[in-house]
Chains A and B, each alone.
Chain A
Amino acid sequence: MTVLAFTLIPLIAATLRVATPLLLAALGETLGENAGVLNLGIEGTMMLGAFVGFAAAASSGSLWLGVLGAVLVGAVCGAAVALLTVTFGLNQHVSGLGITLLTSGIALFFYRVLYGSTTGVQARIEPFQQVDPLPGSVLGSIFQQHALTYIAFGLVPLAWWLLARTQFGLRVRAVGENPEAADTAGVNVFRVRYATLMMGGGLMGAAGAFLSLAQLGAFTFGIIAGRGWIAIALVIFGNWRPLKVLVGMLLFGALQALQLRLQAEGITLVPYEVLLALPYVLTILALAFAGRAASAPAAMLRAYRRE
């Protein structure tokens, strides 16, 4: 029993921690995709968020100011994606990738200018401390998490509520499924898409900030390491519903936590890259077996033009 406690409980705690940036990013992507826009700028937005969060925190001395800065910059990135895909009606895939390439370039460039090399860590700040509501108890270590983690998990029911129980959510879902019908009903398609992309971008920025301000206390070249693409995969896996996205997130987080743990223990039954690759492969299988294109918001990837 105690063995289980000693292995399982830290694993759960690690899962929650590892899942946080993914959850934030995936929630952000879910919002945008529900409105019918695939935001491939996610990876770059996270990186820029990580950098701006770090720089703002380092220069101001306040970590929360860093988070705020990251959220704001993320919203700007979201607006940029919206400008290209919604206002200009350009191809969503290429626009998003362009933004990712641009914003990651900007992040890395400015970090270099301000702090020096990006390989190895030149600048460090004191990261967030974890909150510990139940000190001492074994079970309590699960709740020993960053404030941002609490916020992230709290956002899941909020996101669900937003989509299912507000007029805004109705509009978002209508725009993503049938923008012509939404337009006929008097919904401003452009405004809804801009709003969701900017909100989503803010969340993606926050995800990046978590990595630089809570997990690492620094900013490096590989800080994001493809988490943005994982988030996209998990949105599909979760069938575009915030609650289901959470499930996929936890699964992935558990896998990653397990991998970290095994690595720490020096156990190499399976090369840890296999565990890293597993979620991607599983997602591809899920896509293949469910033909998920059918469940995607029907209007996704199509620019809306009122003829």
Chain B
Amino acid sequence: MIDPHTHAAEPAAERPVGPTIGPTVGATVERAVELRSITKCFGALRANASVSLHAGAGEVLALLGENGAGKSTLMKILYGLYQPDAGQIIIGGQPVIFRSPADAIAHGIGMVTQHFALVSTMTVAENIALGAGGGLFNRARAETRVRDTAARYHLQIDPAATVCDLSVGEAQRVEILKALSRQARVLILDEPTAVLTPQESRALFGELKQLVAQGLAIIFISHKLDEVLAVADRVTVLRDGSVVGETSTQGASAAHLAEMMVGRAGFTPTGAGLRAHPAPPSSPNSSASGTAAGARTESGIAQDQRSSPGESPLLAMHDVHTSRTRGLSALRGVTLDVRAGEIVGIAGVSGNGQTELAEVLTGMRHITQGSITLLGHSIANVSAAQATASGIGRIPEDRQTGLVGDMTVAENMALEHVRDFTRAGKLSLLDQVKLHAHARALIAQYNIKAAPSSQAGKLSGGTMQKIILARVLSRNPMLVVAAQPTRGLDVGASEYVRGKLIKQRERGAGVLLISEDLDELLALADRIAVMFEGRIIGSVDSAQASAEQLGLMMAGRSGAQSREVRETQHV
């Protein structure tokens, strides 16, 4: 990881230098690839709205944006996995149509994603040779070919190594080599450092320099400012499916980029001002600043009752680490508190440890270091059942995990606490009457559009989420861990869920809300902690959060640094 302190002083310190770097912003550089007015909709969701960008040979273009900005969709279109609804892809001046990745590959586009498409029991050379036609596989010749390609681009790799023995950085190199061996002239890298250690990231940047020196065009998707400023020549910022800015990285302001990445209509431009926060009790609709998403707290949810949280923390996490599985982020020392009667929001671009954080609190993942206590009692490494019994209400990230789709609503409502529905005696006989009564009560209370005997998996997303909420919240948990609770839900259902979470805060529970939706966090949370690379990089009182501040943190600059940047700018 580039040291932010030295970089903050000299934004142009580490630039890729090479003979074929494009001189100015795209003007005379040969455009290796261009996307013109690309639009892509998935039903009602507009993933890309008339996006245009281009990258030239020997140039690194960064694509910056937070969750849902449309970066991955755009690149999937470029790689032939999706077809655009409107717009053109232009390669070497000619418009082309990609019906599949094979077409894209034939036109020199290569893509390296976070999930490597490698066969772990085969060697590097075998993986690269896979898919090439022909009858025989001459091991020696294939290895020589790989060695030659690697040498040409100055990439270190042993062609005879078996993939499962490689480190993540080396495996990624194999993916790059695969693309290069197919004559890629444009290389797309989707969040490549998400799976790398800092050292491996540094090595990757060095490799990218070499590639660019050989005339490749590189499109680098990232949400990490430091990387973008270090590696890229130009950066395009996407937000909510549209391009909101494009600039050369020379002399670019990190703060400005962050603000573009995350900024909303509700934020004031200087970033230091107070966000229009819902006023005290008498004006429930004071949060009038609607955003593009429109999912603010207008519909009668009074955010007035900011009950003063208790003194000592309900949940205390200290320096929590989890082990690192290949390619997946780990927790690298999370320290976090949640007090009773407050909602703590966890913001951050997905893939920075949010999933693991939820798992560690809900009995689904072990920690290797650190402590987690609930009211002083350790809940580290407990089972799922124990977590629930301790008073943790768990709303899982994936609705499919939280329900057994093939079972009925009533059964799903009972399963987590099945002991409560058994009659006394060793036979663990189910009290059917109680079970059904419980289901009917919850259905009425939560206005669930289903019967107790409906099959859970056949219901709508919103209804499924209500069932989970009903099951969890009806037990009056001490701590609610809600991971992406409104993901995939329509406006009505989302509002309902948010209202319920606020009610929990009102009754004195502590709520940990992990969400990719920044609007939601700003509306609901009292405090927002930002996760970056497995740690809490900083936290702010949501009433005082600014787009720039949050953006900087989400992009890798800690709270202290972001203040520093602002200060240097005002000088």
Contacts and interface: CB of A to CB of B under 8 A. Distances in A.
- A adjacent to B, CB under 8 Å: yes
Interface of A: 164-171, 173-174, 177-178, 180-182, 184-187, 297-298
B293 to A, nearest CB: 28
Given A167-B137, A170-B126, A184 B119 contact: no
8 contacts: A165-B139, A166-B135, A167-B132, A167-B134, A167-B136, A173-B122, A174-B122, A185-B131
Residue with the highest number of chain B CB atoms closer than 10 Å, among A171, A177, A185, A187: A185
Nearest to A297: B121
Nearest to A173: B122
A298 B121 CA distance: 9
B119 A167 contact: no
B117 A180 contact: yes
Given A165-B139, A167-B129, A177-B120, 16 more contacts: A166-B136, A167-B135, A168-B135, A170-B137, A171-B130, A173-B122, A177-B119, A177-B121, A177-B122, A178-B118, A181-B116, A182-B130, A186-B102, A186-B131, A298-B120, A298-B121
Contacts of B136: 165-167
Nearest to A180: B117
Residue with the highest number of chain A CB atoms closer than 10 Å, among B118, B129, B131: B131
Contacts of B101: 184
Contacts of A167: 129, 132-137
B130 A166 contact: no
Interface string B103-121: 0000000000000111111
Contacts, number: 58
B90 to A, nearest CB: 25
A170 B129 contact: yes
A170 to B, nearest CB: 5
Contacts of B118: 178, 181
Contacts of A174: 119, 122, 130
A171 B118 CA distance: 12
- Dominant SS among interface residues on chain B: loop
Contacts of A181: 116-119
Contacts of A187: 130-131
Contacts of B134: 167
Interface residues of B, number: 21
Nearest to A171: B130
Residue with the highest number of chain B CB atoms closer than 10 Å, among A168, A178, A180, A182: A178
B465 to A, nearest CB: 23
A170 B136 CA distance: 10
B2 to A, nearest CB: 32
Contact of B137 (A165, A178, A184, A298): A165
A185 B131 CA distance: 5
A297 B120 CA distance: 10
B122 A170 contact: yes
A185 B101 CA distance: 9
A177 B118 CA distance: 9
A182 B132 contact: no
Residue with the highest number of chain A CB atoms closer than 10 Å, among B122, B129, B138: B122
Interface in B391-445: none
Nearest to B111: A184
Contacts of B138: 165
Contacts of B139: 164-165
B129 A184 contact: no
A184 B117 contact: yes
- Ordered nearest first, which 6 A-B pairs have the shortest CB separation? A185-B131, A181-B117, A186-B131, A184-B117, A174-B119, A177-B119
Contacts of B129: 167, 170
B115 to A, nearest CB: 9
Residue with the highest number of chain A CB atoms closer than 10 Å, among B101, B120, B133, B137: B137
Nearest to B128: A185
Interface string B448-473: 00000000000000000000000000
Residue with the highest number of chain A CB atoms closer than 10 Å, among B117, B135, B138: B117
Contacts of A184: 101, 117
A185 B137 contact: no
B130 A185 contact: yes
B488 to A, nearest CB: 17
A307 to B, nearest CB: 12
Contacts of A297: 121
Interface in B119-159: 119-122, 126, 129-139
B479 to A, nearest CB: 35
Contact of A173 (B117, B121, B131, B135): B121
A297 B126 CA distance: 16
A165 B136 CA distance: 6
A184 B102 CA distance: 9
Contacts of B135: 166-168
Contacts of B117: 178, 180-181, 184-185
Contacts of A169: 137
A181 B131 CA distance: 10
Nearest to B101: A184
A185 B119 CA distance: 11
B112 to A, nearest CB: 12
A46 to B, nearest CB: 29
Nearest to B105: A186
Interface in B280-298: none
Interface in B328-344: none
Contacts of A177: 119-122
A182 B131 CA distance: 8
A7 B135 CA distance: 46
A49 to B, nearest CB: 29
